[in-house]
Amino acid sequence: MKLIDVTNNHSELVMEQLENTDANFVKVFSLGPTTVIYSGAPTHKDVLLLNKVRNIKNAEISFAIENILETTVDNVDILHAPHIVELSIPVYE
């Protein structure tokens, strides 16, 4: 699996997220047919995996946890919905 940074192609989404949430940064990646939105705020980091065609695969979830959040599954809150998975971890400063 390979993450491709496509943030520049989603400038409207990024600006909307920065204006309407507590996020300090927003990055958008392509993980094959799955879109990955990574955002960080002072108290948490979130990854949203979206695929309009199929549900998110466990391998994609594991990849995002290891390579984007750089943690283990034990530290992540995972919320499943059809075609969407949200991963969230608290940030301790």
pTM value?
Answer: 0.92
Note the pLDDT tens digit of each residue in 67-85.
999 999 999 999 999 999 9
Note the pLDDT tens digit of each residue in 17-62.
889 988 999 999 999 999 999 999 999 999 999 999 999 999 999 9
Distance between CA atoms of residues 63 and 69, nearest Å = 9
Residue holding tokens 């949430």?
21
Tell me the β-bridge partners of 45.
40, 89
